[in-house]
Structure 1
Amino acid sequence: MILPGATLGMLGGGQLGRMFTTAAQTMGYKVIVLDPDKNSPAGIIADQHICAAYTDESALAELAQLCSAITTEFENIPASTLAFLEQRTVVHPSSTALASTQNRNVEKNFIRAQGIATVPFVKINCSDDIDNLGSQISFPAILKVATFGYDGKGQIVCEDLSAVYAAFDAMGQKECVLEQRIDLEREISVVLARGQDGQITPFPVAENVHINGILHSTTVPSIAAESLQQTAIEMASKIAEGLAYVGTMAVEFFVSKQGDIIANEIAPRPHNSGHYTLDACRTSQFEQQVRMLCGLPAGNAELISPVVMINLLGDVWGNSQPHWNKLLTQPDIKLHLYGKKEARAGRKMGHFNVLAAETSQAMELASQTFEAIKAD
């Protein structure tokens, strides 16, 4: 076990790194963040900020020398960076686990290898692959860049074959995946913690709503059937085991109107849909991340209140500040801002959690409050 007083490393200085840093410091650990942005949200609150690129081997060697263990906040850290660090200190998740989730084609093939369904998909490397699609994919479909896509970025809806050619050109003819759209009933996600001993502790299943490809709200408990929720937890656990994963991770699922459950994406880190755990569970997903990294047993993941989480994007700021008084006068709403200096459209600036005795009450108050705080 790595105990309080030790120093932990975080690759990445965004909001997920910031919330990890807060959890670790609360538990008595020191945190060093490595991030190339001098104003990174995690870097400005960490005990030390190494402002360097993720491929800077001298900076990485310094981080490894100073830290008892190192983790990451997002999957686009080069797997080679983690492999470099693994030669020098404890690193979770592993470079091999990260590599399995960085490319959408590799990720989907991995999921299928676990016996878990994905949407029908085809790897697109060149125009010839589009020529040869035949009946492999029905339209409408979505063309997604294979790497570095997130929050709706790097994806284009295609209504027919000609749109795929145009979208592929718009992507710069980089490796892509063409995914068939499904008749969607709902989107859910499972956040879980897996320890070095293989023990898995899942959080309650979350029900998610996306707007323009970006998560807008998460509601817990989900209204999905109990059997479906249990299946999702079993699938996510199987994926974690297949990756030999250590840490906090999430799996997003589609539920079709026919009742099928389909794995969409793996997030090898805490997840936006797990932010509700900060206020509505006995242990947050970020404390679990600290615990898993340090070889501690998982905390109790029990839900203590129905909750709705609402993302706050830069759009809410307008040309000024949101009407925070409309939110902060509500005793059962918890505000979390990420310390980002500039509000931009589509940029995640924070979130709030609404707690209530009933899910319906939380949903109504969340909707009312979101509309009320928008800047003029």
Structure 2
Amino acid sequence: MSRRLPVIGILGGGQLARMLALAAAPLGVRCSVVDGSADACAGQLAPLRVADWRDLASLEQFAAAVDVVTFDFENVPAATAEWLRQRVPVHPSPEALAVAQDRISEKMLFRAIGLDTPAFAAVSTRSELDAAVARIGVPSILKTRRLGYDGKGQFRLRSATDVDAAWAALGAQATPHGLVLEAFVPFTRELSVLAVRGRDGEFRTWPLTQNWHHQGILALSCAPATVAPELAALALHKAQALAEKLDYVGVFALELFEHAGHLLGNEMAPRVHNSGHWTIEGAVTSQFENHVRAVLGLPLGATTLRAPSVMFNWIDALPEPVTGALALSDVHWHDYGKDPRPGRKVGHATIACADSVQLLARAQALAQALGREPQLAPALPVLHAGAAPRG
């Protein structure tokens, strides 16, 4: 008699679902994907059901064929996740998904666990925007409360003269969900905590990661981040408080700003995260494998560092020539199987190397081979510091 393998249903079929399927296979776990696009890249590795989030007949069939449901992006309607939960376990919960979908609910949650945030104000009318700018000041950033990611749905106000342009760009989205004006933070660094919590409440974190963005999209990540030990400990503590507050199951990312020696909460991603891709080669257990373990109720794997790592994110199109990158030592290449498109994440490369001096040299060699020196430049001071000889 053939053995039945457990099946994880994934809402969303992008590169995160693709990497979840890759991580699930060695554990004897299959994945099934639902996405609105027939060319969703996860469909190259797992069965793909093309359906709208409101297609309840198709979702009914999907739920009947899987053991648990998760998601690879946070813009799945929380109502769809709740509808599915009546039929099959859903992890993370629809409640966690709903909080992460609303920037104000998210900030209120951060403050509830004692994590400060940049000043913010809800905005639904032009007069409320004027009042918010008067109170918070400029520079500041006007954002949609929902459906914003990778720099989308945002307008930066550099002076009070930008208010008209900001409202023209985003005012139409002020109803029904509203906007939020956030104070701009002149941060020292951007950080993320990658964490996982199991069904039994077991909680683990990977080493703190430092990130650099370009035009609102992650360009580069480095782990472990070079921050004071007490600040790193505080970041991990806040992530655990967040997970327990939400009774969270699965992997999530808590994005933070370091400013004047303090941590400010930026965003939460209720899923595996771009800044954690380095864990595939750089950690004992990747974020993808641990998410599979968590949602199925399996024991979590160790999250300790195998080697310091640098991850390059490829946006728009894969850099050429790939052969130049593959010829370098300690370079791990990931092609998501996507067609090029402006602003699209199409792949990444990770360098994991136990020797920090060699890590810096290989990161520079990779950047040079692919013509990506400007992308690496913001991280060079951090990498140089990590590579400094120890007395």
Q: TM-score per shorter chain, which class?
A: over 0.9
Give the drift of 1:315: 4.6
Give the drift of 1:4: 7.5
Counterparts of 1:177 and 1:219 in 2: how far apart (Å)?
30
User: Within the alignment, does 1:326 sit opposite 2:329 as a pair?
Assistant: no
Counterparts of 2:148 and 2:351 in 1: how far apart (Å)?
29
Task: Determine the structure 1 residue equivalent to 2:52.
Answer: 53
**1:255-278 deviations in whole A, cap 9, x for unaligned?**
01x111101000000010000000
State, as a whole percentage, how many aligned pairs show the same letter: 38
Counterparts of 1:359 and 1:368 in 2: how far apart (Å)?
14
Give the drift of 1:162: 3.2
Match among 227, 232, 236 for residue 233 of structure 1? 236
User: Within the alignment, does 1:186 sit opposite 2:189 as a pair?
Assistant: yes
Give the drift of 1:101: 0.6
Counterpart code for 1:267? A
Counterparts of 1:372 and 1:344 in 2: how far apart (Å)?
22
Task: Determine the structure 2 residue equivalent to 1:38.
Answer: 38
Give the drift of 1:373: 2.0
Greater shift in the superposed pair: 71-80 or 211-220? 211-220
Contact 2:254 2:265 in 1 (8 A): yes
Task: Determine the structure 2 residue equivalent to 1:88.
Answer: 87
Counterpart code for 1:63? F
- Aligned with 2:188: secondary structure? strand
User: Within the alignment, does 1:303 sit opposite 2:305 as a pair?
Assistant: yes
Contact 1:143 1:164 in 2 (8 A): no
Contact 1:308 1:359 in 2 (8 A): no
**1:156-175 deviations in whole A, cap 9, x for unaligned?**
11022331332122114322
Which residues of 2 match residues 1-376 of structure 1 at below 5 A?
5-46=5-46, 48-133=47-132, 135-174=134-173, 175-256=178-259, 258-317=260-319, 322-340=320-338, 342-374=339-371
**1:44-70 deviations in whole A, cap 9, x for unaligned?**
210x21111122111111111000111
Counterparts of 1:24 and 1:194 in 2: how far apart (Å)?
17
Task: Determine the structure 1 residue equivalent to 2:382.
Answer: none
- CA 1:331 to 1:32, structure 2 compared with 1: closer, same or farther past 3 Å? same
Counterpart code for 1:289? H
Task: Determine the structure 1 residue equivalent to 2:377.
Answer: none
Task: State the superposition RMSD in angstroms.
Answer: 1.6
Give the drift of 1:30: 1.6
Segments of 5+ residues of structure 1 without an aligned counterpart are none
Counterparts of 2:331 and 2:275 in 1: how far apart (Å)?
17
Counterparts of 1:276 and 1:351 in 2: how far apart (Å)?
9
**1:278-319 deviations in whole A, cap 9, x for unaligned?**
0011100000110011001110101010110110112554xx
Counterparts of 1:280 and 1:189 in 2: how far apart (Å)?
16
Counterparts of 1:247 and 1:145 in 2: how far apart (Å)?
26
Counterpart code for 1:348? K
- CA 1:12 to 1:220, structure 2 compared with 1: closer, same or farther past 3 Å? same
Structure 1 length as normaliser, TM-score? 0.94
Counterpart code for 1:266? M
Contact 1:307 1:359 in 2 (8 A): no
Counterpart code for 1:297? P
Contact 1:333 1:355 in 2 (8 A): yes
Counterparts of 2:361 and 2:185 in 1: how far apart (Å)?
29
Counterparts of 2:323 and 2:144 in 1: how far apart (Å)?
41
Counterparts of 2:150 and 2:356 in 1: how far apart (Å)?
26
Contact 2:155 2:169 in 1 (8 A): no
Counterpart code for 2:138? F
Counterparts of 2:157 and 2:71 in 1: how far apart (Å)?
34
**1:315-366 deviations in whole A, cap 9, x for unaligned?**
554xxxx1011110112100011111x1122211110111223335324422
Aligned residues: 366
Counterparts of 2:253 and 2:165 in 1: how far apart (Å)?
32
Counterpart code for 1:355? A
Structure 2 length as normaliser, TM-score? 0.90
Counterparts of 1:95 and 1:245 in 2: how far apart (Å)?
10
Contact 1:4 1:29 in 2 (8 A): no
- CA 1:371 to 1:213, structure 2 compared with 1: closer, same or farther past 3 Å? farther
- Aligned with 2:16: secondary structure? helix
Counterpart code for 1:279? E
Contact 2:306 2:354 in 1 (8 A): no
Counterparts of 2:364 and 2:57 in 1: how far apart (Å)?
48
Contact 2:126 2:171 in 1 (8 A): no
Contact 1:149 1:155 in 2 (8 A): yes
Counterparts of 2:318 and 2:360 in 1: how far apart (Å)?
19
Q: Give the helix-richer structure, 1 or 2.
A: 2
